[in-house]
Amino acid sequence: MTLHSSPLHAPAVVVSDIFGGELIPDDHAETAEGLPLSAGWYRLKVSGLAADEVVEVRLDFGLGFVGHHGVRARAAGTTAELFVRLFKQVIALQLLREPKSIGTTAPKISFERLPGALVAMRRVLEQIRIAIRSLRPAPKSQHERPRRLWAWTGLQAFPTTLPATGESSIVLSRRVVGRDLNPFEAEVDGDRVQASPRSWVGQASVIIPTRNRADLLERCVESILTKTRPHPPEIIVHDNGSDEASAKRLLERYAATAGIRVLRDDLPFNFSRINNEAAAVAGGNILLFLNNDTEVLSGDWVDQLASVVSEPHVGCAGALLLTPGGTIQHAGLVTGPGGIAAHVHFGMTLEQADPVAPVVRRPVSAVTGACLAIEKSKFLAIGGFDDEHFPVAFNDVDLCLRLERQGLRTIFVPEAKLIHLGSATREDDDFTSGTDRFRTEFRLMRDRWGARLDADPYFPRHMRLTRSGPQLRLA
């Protein structure tokens, strides 16, 4: 197969078989006409097709794991027409056809940039349609989930190997367009954030709510004591009614250990109340709320988080949490998906995430309470976690948004790394659990933050969050 290229790295066009994956012979390959090298709206035409033929055009932006995106169209006569919105230079392009449609003449692909007036008209029409939909009666049931404004199933992600080059799009993006593909801003208040922790003054207190599961708690605490540099912080273990003998013995040992305090709470589980009680007696000026199913990976994790939250314009900070298998569990939260929020890059490896939207220090809407840092003075001034309205779910997101309302940013800090098992000591909490408590908390979050939840200012508008991670919006 001939790879058509130019000194400007114009993408290749490859015509292939959508079912068998076999490439059409070289004499059927055509270069695209007017190939777009800049962002904008385009009319994409595929001519020379069979009547009513359905074709799929795959576009690759050199973004790696989800770098391949497909748009489908049916030919009207011998031409198929699509509208696509491009945000990056196309690196490679494929036209996929059914075997029975392949003839002796290869179809041609052309791009036509749409004039600004036409784009503006399309946007006005879309706003009118949105306004009309908003006039529809509200759902009768207060427990009915709101209309999702974020798509879970965006444009399809394809394998990372390009038949045109035999290289993965990750390698291609690095070789052809370099590494300036990050759609996320890695800046805070105009200043490039530093990977090295700044100096900070004071002491940090790590607060760990727990119940039974002595194995998890011991692993968590021992990792803090042995791995944290230059010295371990104060540790406050707040026990919520442990009744297993192994847990009681471990708590007694910790109560007699210097640098560790053990509190007891026998009331029904209320994550917000437990953390608030521990924060009130903490000796440190920096609070680090930590789940008992975590384990420290980076020795400077306390310094990394404490140095960030010590900045006057920062409220909360959160760490990079990985599963034992090395995939991402937490890299910041995006508000909107599922009605409240969802994790960016969830389930991806760092290698898969890097070419798509690199895991860098950046402002986010919220971070998870599984590892959340904040100055004690700011935490007390804001009233701590809302233990009345959000005893179990959404308390971390609510805290971050209340701080944001006071002009304080939430920062994701990937240099602080920990392992997180995730819900190891209690079941996942969502609509499928069917609890009235969760439904009530969900409704309260929507009532309090609905408009803000549906418009995340820190997630790029030209991307959508799907089950397989962030993807470009092409249309």
Q: What is the pLDDT of residues 307-324, one digit of tens each?
A: 999 999 999 999 999 999
Is 80 in a helix, a strand, or coil? strand
CA distances from 181 to 44, 62, 467 (A): 24, 9, 21
| Helix, strand or coil, per DSSP, at residue 58 | strand
Q: Which helix (H) or strand (E) holds 308?
A: helix 301-309
Poorest-pLDDT segment among 25-39, 42-56, 91-105, 430-444: 25-39
Contact 457, 364 (CB under 8 A): no
pLDDT in tens, 399-411: 999 999 999 999 9
The DSSP secondary structure of 174-192, one letter per residue, reads: IIIITT----S--EETTEE
Model pLDDT, residue 151: 29
| Integer Cα distance of 305 and 414 in angstroms | 10
Beta bridge partners of 466: 469
Q: How confident is the model at residue 190 (pLDDT cuts 50, 70, 90)?
A: very low
More confident residue, 298 or 339: 298
What's the pLDDT tens digit per position in 137-151? 655 444 343 333 332
Best CA proximity match to 405, nearest among 362, 373, 448, 368: 448
Buried b (16+ CB within 10 A) or exposed e, 342-370: bbbbbebebebbbbbbbbbbbbbbbbbbb
Distance CA 92, CA 35 (A): 11
- In 337-453, beta strands by DSSP E: 341-343, 362-364, 371-375, 409-420
The pTM for the full model equals 0.66
Low-confidence winner among 151-160, 268-277, 340-349, 452-461 (lowest mean pLDDT): 151-160
> Which residues on neighbouring strands pair with residue 54, listed in sequence order?
74
212 close to 205: Cβ distance less than 8 angstroms: no
| Least confident stretch, 16-25, 129-138, 354-363, 407-416 | 16-25
Q: Quick check: 164 pLDDT over 60?
A: no
**What is the C-alpha separation between 85 and 424, in angstroms, rounded?**
42
Most confident of 394-398, 430-434, 471-475: 394-398
Phi, psi of 123 (to 5 degrees): -70, -40
- The tokens of 392 are what? 């179990």
Residue 317 phi, psi dihedral angles, 5° rounding = -145, 150
Amino acid at site 197: P
Contacts of 435 (CB under 8 A, 6+ apart): 429
- Residue 150, pLDDT score: 30
Give yes or no for a cis peptide into 230 (omega within 30° of 0). Answer: yes
- pLDDT value of position 49: 83
Arithmetic mean of pLDDT over the chain:
75
Percent with pLDDT over 90 in the chain: 42
Q: Quote the CA–CA distance of 451 and 43 in Å, as a whole number.
A: 33
Higher pLDDT, 119 or 347: 347
Q: With 70 as the cut, is the pLDDT of residue 369 above it?
A: yes
What are the domain boundaries of the chain?
12-118+145-177, 187-459
Residue 4's pLDDT is 26
b/e map 32-69, b = 16+ CB within 10 Å: beebbeeeebbebbbeebbeebbbbbbbbbbbbbbbbb
Residue 449 near residue 399 (C-beta atoms within 8 A): no
Task: Provide φ and ψ at 204, rounded to 5°.
Answer: -105, 140
> For residues 218 and 254, what is the distance between their CA atoms, to the nearest angstrom?
9
pLDDT category at 168 given cuts 50, 70, 90 is: very low
CA dist 387 and 271 (Å) reads 8
pLDDT-based confidence at residue 353 (cuts at 50, 70, 90):
confident
Confidence of residue 76 (pLDDT cuts 50, 70, 90): confident
| Residue 31: per-residue pLDDT | 44
Q: Which residues pair with 261 in a beta bridge?
A: 236
Residue 167 has pLDDT above 70, yes or no: no
36 has pLDDT over 50: yes
Lowest-confidence region among 111-120, 132-141, 228-237, 446-455? 132-141
What is the crossing angle of helices 395-405 and 436-453, to 10°? 30
- Domain covering 187-459 in this structure, CATH number: 3.90.550.10
